[in-house]
Amino acid sequence: MLSYHLHSPILTLAKELIDPSINSYHIFRKARMKRIYSKLRQTTLWRLRLLIAIKILGGKKIKLIVDGTILPVANVNRARTQRIKRFGGKVFWTKRQKKLCSVHYRKYVEFEEVYYGVLVMVLCDENGVVYVWFTYGNMHESKAYGIRKTKSKWFKELVESHEVYGDKAYKYVEGVKACSRRNEKGMRQVVEGVIGAVKSFNVVSRWRKGITLLCYVYAYSIAYSFFRRKNAG
């Protein structure tokens, strides 16, 4: 969480605040990361349930927004020529259609971009209280949402008891309302802000293993929710 707030890698902070001789293997041991992940996950779920309960008791209607983004695991050229130990396989290759406004052609130009990475899914409310998870890069956002809903009982109860909004990718997903009106599209600014911060944080985090990424995204979700609410207040 401190790494997110200061926008600095964990290893750099440990060397500055604890001991300059600290190495990565002192911090990122698998058994230690599993314990940290378990505690962060319990804290995240507890906070979500508490905040939602407070809103319900206060008579507020809760609206949730879902979206996803690709976090690169490795440079595309490196992934094509070398074996990536942390994440390997075709399931991490994906393509995304993008639109950019061309000054020369004076119109939007569509193009396809190739990534080698993971799909990070974000579910948050209008105040920026965040829940994050990740899956294979080549999985469609709507499928990732459906699988999470099937496998996680508390997640299913959460999304079925409140309104969930998404972009046009979720148009045919049961229980998710595709944003079409201007005020509904405005709600997506919150989740877009979360995604932008996730990408920015990913640049400095320097994670290597899946369990480390899980710890990062849970710690990130707690830190983002706390600091955003504090700044908003």
pLDDT of res. 233: 47
pLDDT band with cut points at 50, 70 and 90 for residue 206: low
pLDDT of res. 231: 47
* More reliable by pLDDT, 111 or 174: 174
pLDDT band with cut points at 50, 70 and 90 for residue 147: very high
**Tens of pLDDT, residues 22-56:** 666 556 666 777 787 787 777 777 777 777 777 66
pLDDT band with cut points at 50, 70 and 90 for residue 232: very low
pLDDT band with cut points at 50, 70 and 90 for residue 19: low
pLDDT of res. 14: 63
Contacts of 132 by beta carbon, 8 Å cutoff, 6+ apart: 120, 121, 122, 123, 198, 217, 218, 220, 221
Region label for 95, one of left (φ > 0), alpha (ψ between -120 and 50) or beta (otherwise): beta
Contacts of 195 by beta carbon, 8 Å cutoff, 6+ apart: 67, 69, 120, 122
**Tens of pLDDT, residues 61-92:** 778 889 988 888 877 887 777 777 667 778 88
pLDDT of res. 190: 78
Q: Are 91 and 31 in contact (CB under 8 A)?
A: no
For residue 152, give the 3-state DSSP assignment: coil
Q: pTM for the whole thing?
A: 0.76
pLDDT of res. 145: 92
Mean pLDDT, the chain, whole residue set = 76
> Taking the C-alpha atoms of 18, 24, 28 and 30 in order, what is their torsion angle to the nearest 10 degrees?
-140
**Tens of pLDDT, residues 148-176:** 999 988 888 888 888 888 888 888 888 88
